[in-house]
Amino acid sequence: GLAFEPGDALGLVPRNDPALVEALLGALALPADAPLALKERRTTIGEALDAALEITAATPRFIDHWAGLSSARALEELRGEANAAERAAYLHANHVIDIVRRFPVAGVDAESFAAGWRPLQPRLYSIASSPAAAPDEVHLTVSTVRYELHGEPRAGVASGHLATRAEPDAEIPVYV
């Protein structure tokens, strides 16, 4: 059987929403097959946006990066410790796609674009089953995160993947 205790965490390695990947590529006018080096691995921007980069929630690092590429005054004003509260509110109200659409950068290449991202992080869920009841299975209870932002439906990266894009009996990378 599997070695776990009730309440242990299961790390789920999600994939980003293909519609969001397509929207980002369109907003950037980048082809999905544009070559990209991530650390020491050669890939494409499409593959990186799909499964390697955190592309939903914007971060202070992304604000700094995109401010440098776009020279957008509004983003420049959010930089620095003195503007932490304003930046936090802005990040809460805007995802990466919203920032890219509002402050477009003509001719950005895949390497420059990807430089402002953090790796896609696993999502942790508490194990809801007992090994005494199901020794070879792990059961999770997942509530799908759904909301609207800027007039568009949004969903959590992992919960949205499980609820709408993963096929029944799909194999999804996890760890205990």
pLDDT in tens, 124-141: 888 888 878 888 888 888
Contacts 24+ apart (CB under 8 A), 122-126: 122/11, 122/12, 122/13, 122/14, 122/175, 123/11, 123/12, 123/14, 123/156, 123/157, 123/158, 123/159, 124/9, 124/10, 124/11, 124/12, 125/9, 125/10, 125/12, 125/158, 126/7, 126/8, 126/9, 126/10
State the average pLDDT for the chain: 89
pTM for the full predicted model: 0.82
Predicted pLDDT at 143: 86
The confidence score (pLDDT) of residue 78 equals 96
- The whole-number pLDDT of residue 94 equals 96
Percent of the chain with pLDDT over 90: 50
Mean pLDDT for the stretch of residues 43-63: 93
Query: Tell me, what's the pLDDT at 32?
Result: 97
Q: Choose between 172 and 74: higher pLDDT.
A: 74
